[in-house]
Amino acid sequence: MLESELHDLSDDADYAASQQQGSASMMLGSDSAKQSSPRDGAEIVFQKDNVAIHPTQFASERISGRLKLIKQSSSLFMTWIPYKGHNSEARLSDKDRSLYTIRAVPFTDIRSIRRHNPALGWQYIIVVLSSGLAHPPLYFYSGGVKEFLATIKQHVLLVRSAEDANIFLVNDFQNTLQRTLSSLELPRAVPLACGPSDMSVDESILNENQERADNGVNSGSLSVTQFHGRPRHKAHDPARDLSIQVLEKFSLVTKFARETTSQLFGENHSNGFSANERRTHIQANLDHSKNSSNVVENTSEKSPVALDSHEFDNLSLIWGKPRQPPLGSEEWIIFLDSEGRVTDSEALRKRVFYGGLDHELRNEVWGLLLGYYPYESTYAEREFLKSVKKLEYENIKNQWQSISSAQAKRFTKFRERKGLIEKDVVRTDRSLAFYEGDDNPNINILRDILLTYSFYNFDLGYCQGMSDLLSPILFVMDDESEAFWCFVALMERLGPNFNRDQNGMHSQLFALSKLVELLDSPLHNYFKQRDCLNYFFCFRWILIQFKREFEYEKTMRLWEVLWTHYPSEHLHLYVCVAILKRYRGKIMGEVMDFDTLLKFINELSGHIDLDATLRDAEALCICAGENGAARIPPGTPPSLPVDDGSFYVQQDDEVL
Amino acid sequence: MSYAYLFKYIIIGDTGVGKSCLLLQFTDKRFQPVHDLTIGVEFGARMITIDNKPIKLQIWDTAGQESFRSITRSYYRGAAGALLVYDITRRETFNHLASWLEDARQHANANMTIMLIGNKCDLAHRRAVSTEEGEQFAKEHGLIFMEASAKTAQNVEEAFIKTAATIYKKIQDGVFDVSNESYGIKVGYGGIPGPSGGRDGPSAAAGGCCS
Ligand SMILES: Nc1nc2c(ncn2[C@@H]2O[C@H](COP(=O)(O)OP(=O)(O)OP(=O)(O)O)[C@@H](O)[C@H]2O)c(=O)[nH]1
Ligand SMILES: [Mg+2]
């Protein structure tokens, strides 16, 4: 596809891949004229090998790559692509690699470059974007920082900061917004990302935190208090929100970079802080998101520039992969062997994750995604299974159909269940053509499937919300038995949502609170302070997989993406975090209490941008990595329950 | 829009008794047979006038299903009024009233005004609970009572307004400290503070005007 087209433009496939993704990061640029990819007439004006980052504190663990400056028409771009398979450490995953890759960042998006010349070790630079984001330090293991800066200077305006001779302000005068941005005071984001050779700046952060710590319990809740204290309009400044958002996300990355730097070059410089003190400080802050947001709040208070909200949307995540068009029938065939087996289910899941499915493919693919049909089944086997299952369905259905009215009189539970289901199917998606109108036969099919399910799984029975989950499945499968079995497969995953005691829901809400604590501790502290930690305002989102939050087509898209279990089987929780993070500024800025928050979240229905949310959710999930996975207690749906009896007991009485 | 007071209402009662329909009839003045069952809570709002004062009702229409109760209970907090609804054609919805009341007493504030509504009175031919039984229950528990129909709109307007009038009277009588929002009452701009004093109402001294 695209890739072959790109190949002749560059010698390495990584570069080509990055270009493909680069078009998205370029769209981040505020200059819409530059949305075209640099591949036409692109010229490499600088190239340096052995430029590396250190994702962990171990000096040996480094990702090496190639740094390039690319000129296209009048714009300059920077890329840093890690080598494939050349990592010194096999432990570094593809995830890491793509996480750190710098994909064609236009210089209009770069605010400054900071050079570091440590006494021991290699020179490195830190690139700070106009959004306040900083990339991890890039170490020039083969030298060349000077040359790098000199090349930039030939193409864009590079001004040495008056305050610090090692800071180079980047300016591209084609763009007025950028001009304004880069004329601003250097953000405090720089010290956050910088190494130990700048302890003077770090010190000021420490002092700042010290001051705050004097006023309250912990820096996290303090930043919230501070938030309240500020004039209202400040809270709506999208630029401010943005920098917090991005920086927080980024801070998880920088955390490693920073620890690396300390480790690499030791702490025994002649600054006031010993290595130990410094570590304690880092420990005391627990995680950098608290720290970073404090820092950013200060920065942006000084920033008079507000990006418009459109830009804010585009910019919200720098490494979120662009969404793809849905998988269509032609491409679908490629995933199948001649007999209809899915040859590489992982690749299929990945493809569906990034783009979803064309509607006409859903009927064929949903059963596979849900695990009703095995990926390795052939066309013939699926046909066979279908007919076997149809008989099985009819048998179960017959169990309740054969209950006579006389028998039903003595079978209260059955009567109640049936009554409840009948009441609910007429209140499910009736505005859709498929279910609209009196005596619509599809309503009866909904009822029959739900009633049959309540016999198939008598213990779980029927619970409200199930009809919402079944409705799109019946719509897509358009066959009673097939819809039933797909629904059964979905309920294998989501059944605990409908436990009478709500423990499946509570464990997910609990896991959600843990993820927000990890990924946005100021927001977490805010919820804590406001007595909102039960996350009941996300109840509907989770119970029926956002069915009421999006229009029908979008819901189906989201579901198939979630069902891939591609980056995580708990992606739905990251979707929750992504949405909350999108509105965190408003939530905290307007000091919403539980009632207001609940109403606000309810009213978001129909206004959530699905693609952007999925991008954010993916990035958050990658960003959180194992830390995130560790916050989700074993057995949290849709994971299968653990059997040792010790599962997700909510020892934490914060929730519930 | 400016209001003198804002009252928070909750609508509670078994699933399917017609809570959402009552709300829709009150806010949109239509009977909507095509609507979805409630998961969690839905919101509605309408302005009414009592004693010439504009009052905004913010109405929380909760899900009735038993297993959602642990969630919906958290919505009771700070409600000034509650509509407790049963379906006159389904006896069990009437039988469950006591447990709803218990929930309300436990999780809402003690001064909450409760209106008991026997809904679907248009279906008189299928009646399973007599008007007298409804009246009797209300009397025993100190509730206001009405039979209504979300379908024909009979008594719907009245039920919501009567509840508001009762709350308003309580304010006038000084039952509430309206500056304490946990009573589910907010004093609006241009509002009249009750005897116990308004929280924020710069024009309070201007008397009955509500512009
Ligand atoms: N005849 C008649 N039918 C009604 C009336 N009010 C509601 N209904 C019907 O009763 C059913 C349930 O109404 P809802 O308003 O959805 O019930 P609810 O109390 O909100 O139920 P949950 O949301 O599940 O708690 C619907 O199918 C309505 O059409 C009424 O006054 N008369
Ligand atoms: Mg309802």
Q: Do B77 and A420 touch (CB under 8 A)?
A: no
Which CATH code, of 3.40.718.10, 1.10.8.270, 2.40.420.20, 3.30.70.1150, is assigned to A329-498?
1.10.8.270
Query: What type of residue sits at position A567?
Result: P
3 state SS of A49: strand
C-beta of B154 in contact with ligand 1 (< 6 A): no
Count of CA atoms in the C-beta half-sphere (13 A) of B69: 17
The region of weakest confidence among A456-460, A479-483, A526-530, B191-195 is B191-195
**Does the pLDDT of residue B159 top 70, yes or no?**
yes
C-beta of B64 in contact with ligand 1 (< 6 A): yes
Per the model's pLDDT, the better-predicted residue between A280 and B129 turns out to be: B129
- pLDDT of A135 reads 76
CATH topology of domain A503-646: Cyclin A; domain 1 (1.10.472)
CA nearest neighbour of B18 among B156, B120, B95: B120
3 state SS of A628: helix
Query: What type of residue sits at position A182?
Result: S
Per the model's pLDDT, the better-predicted residue between A413 and A196 turns out to be: A413
pTM of the model: 0.67
Per the model's pLDDT, the better-predicted residue between A416 and A165 turns out to be: A416
Q: Do A420 and B71 touch (CB under 8 A)?
A: no
- pLDDT of B189 reads 63
Q: Are A652 and A512 in contact (CB under 8 A)?
A: no
Instruction: Let me know if residue B128 belongs to a domain.
Output: yes
User: From its phi and psi, is residue B187 left (phi > 0), alpha (psi between -120 and 50) or beta?
Assistant: beta
Alpha-carbon gap: B134 to the closest alpha carbon of chain A (Å): 23
Query: What type of residue sits at position A128?
Result: V
Mutate to test the pocket of ligand 1, among B10, B20, B21 (most ligand atoms within 8 A of CB): B21
- The strand ranges marked E within chain B are 5-12, 41-50, 53-62, 81-87, 113-119, 144-147, 185-187
**Does the pLDDT of residue B176 top 90, yes or no?**
no
The rounded distance, in Å, linking the Cα atoms of A48 and A65 is 9
Alpha-carbon gap: B131 to the closest alpha carbon of chain A (Å): 24
Q: Are A22 and A103 in contact (CB under 8 A)?
A: yes
In chain A, % of residues over pLDDT 90 = 46
CA dihedral in degrees (A180, A182, A186, A187; nearest 10)?
80
Arithmetic mean of pLDDT over chain A: 74
The rounded distance, in Å, linking the Cα atoms of A100 and A103 is 9
B77 at interface of A, judged by CB pairs closer than 8 A? yes
The region of weakest confidence among A29-33, A55-59, A381-385, B188-192 is A29-33
Burial category of A375 from C-beta neighbours within 10 Å (exposed 0-12, middle 13-18, buried 19 and up):
middle
The region of weakest confidence among A92-96, A296-300, A458-462, B196-200 is A296-300
Instruction: Let me know if residue B56 belongs to a domain.
Output: yes
CA nearest neighbour of A546 among A645, A465, A491: A465
**Does the pLDDT of residue A308 top 60, yes or no?**
no
Alpha-carbon gap: B139 to the closest alpha carbon of chain A (Å): 30
Tokens matching residue B91: 């006896």
**Does the pLDDT of residue A646 top 80, yes or no?**
no
pLDDT band at A286 (very low <50, low <70, confident <90, very high): very low
Residue in chain B closest to A424 (alpha carbons) equals: B37
User: Cα B153 to chain center, whole Å?
Assistant: 16
- pLDDT of A387 reads 97
Residues of B in Cβ contact (< 8 Å) with A591: none
Distance A371 CA to ligand 2 centre (A): 34
- pLDDT of A358 reads 98
User: What radius of gyration, in Å, describes the C-alpha atoms of chain B?
Assistant: 17
**Closest ligand 1 atom, CA of B37?**
23
Tokens matching residue A383: 């046909």
- pLDDT of B200 reads 40
Domain ranges for chain A: 3-247, 329-498, 503-646
pLDDT in tens, B28-62: 999 987 899 999 999 999 999 999 999 999 999 99
Per the model's pLDDT, the better-predicted residue between A102 and A97 turns out to be: A102
Burial category of B207 from C-beta neighbours within 10 Å (exposed 0-12, middle 13-18, buried 19 and up):
exposed
Instruction: Give counts: helices (H), strands (E), chain A.
Output: 30, 9
Residues 6+ apart with CB under 8 A from A34: A26, A75, A106, A108
pLDDT band at A120 (very low <50, low <70, confident <90, very high): low
Residue B34 structural domain: 5-187
**Does the pLDDT of residue A235 top 90, yes or no?**
no
List, in sequence order, every residue forming a beta bridge with A167; answer none if it has no partner: A114
Q: Are A436 and A430 in contact (CB under 8 A)?
A: yes
**Does the pLDDT of residue A331 top 80, yes or no?**
yes
Architecture of domain A3-247: Roll (2.30)
Distance B8 CA to ligand 1 centre (A): 22
CA nearest neighbour of A230 among A555, A559, A590: A590
Q: Report the b/e string of A245-263 with b at 16+ CB within 10 A.
A: bbbbbbbbbbbbbbbbbbb
* Residue closest by Cα to atom 27 of ligand 1: B33
CA-to-CA dists, residue B63 to A195, A503, B90, B194, angstroms: 54, 18, 18, 33
Distance A462 CA to ligand 2 centre (A): 17
Mutate to test the pocket of ligand 1, among B10, B11, B20 (most ligand atoms within 8 A of CB): B20
The rounded distance, in Å, linking the Cα atoms of A620 and A101 is 16
Alpha-carbon gap: A155 to the closest alpha carbon of chain B (Å): 56
Q: Which long-range contacts (CB under 8 A, 24 or more apart) does A429-437 make?
A: A429/A468, A429/A471, A429/A552, A429/B36, A430/B34, A430/B35, A430/B36, A431/B34, A432/A471, A432/A475, A432/A552, A434/A475, A435/A471, A436/B34
Arithmetic mean of pLDDT over chain B: 88
Instruction: Let me know if residue B201 belongs to a domain.
Output: no
What ipTM was reported for this prediction? 0.88
Instruction: Let me know if residue B53 belongs to a domain.
Output: yes
CATH classification of the domain holding B14:
3.40.50.300
**Number of domains forming the structure of chain B:** 1
pLDDT in tens, A581-613: 999 999 999 999 999 999 999 999 999 999 999
**Does the pLDDT of residue B10 top 80, yes or no?**
yes
Instruction: Let me know if residue B111 belongs to a domain.
Output: yes
Q: What angle do the packed helices A379-401 and A480-494 form, to 10 degrees?
A: 90
- pLDDT of A638 reads 87
C-beta of B39 in contact with ligand 1 (< 6 A): no
- pLDDT of A59 reads 57
- Segment B80-101 mean pLDDT: 97
Distance B18 CA to ligand 1 centre (A): 3
pLDDT band at A263 (very low <50, low <70, confident <90, very high): very low
Mutate to test the pocket of ligand 1, among A423, A424, A443 (most ligand atoms within 8 A of CB): A423
Per the model's pLDDT, the better-predicted residue between A623 and B190 turns out to be: A623
Residues 6+ apart with CB under 8 A from A636: A507, A508, A510, A511, A570, A648
- pLDDT of A217 reads 35
Tokens matching residue B7: 């009252």
Distance B32 CA to ligand 1 centre (A): 9
Per the model's pLDDT, the better-predicted residue between A289 and A559 turns out to be: A559
Instruction: Let me know if residue B192 belongs to a domain.
Output: no
User: What radius of gyration, in Å, describes the C-alpha atoms of chain A?
Assistant: 27
One DSSP character per residue, B14-56 reads: STTSSHHHHHHHHHHSS--SS-PPPSSEEEEEEEEEETTEEEE
**Does the pLDDT of residue A490 top 50, yes or no?**
yes
User: Cα A98 to chain center, whole Å?
Assistant: 14
Residues of B in Cβ contact (< 8 Å) with A496: none
Instruction: Let me know if residue B198 belongs to a domain.
Output: no
From the CA of A423, the nearest ligand is 1
- Segment A449-463 mean pLDDT: 97
**Does the pLDDT of residue A82 top 60, yes or no?**
yes
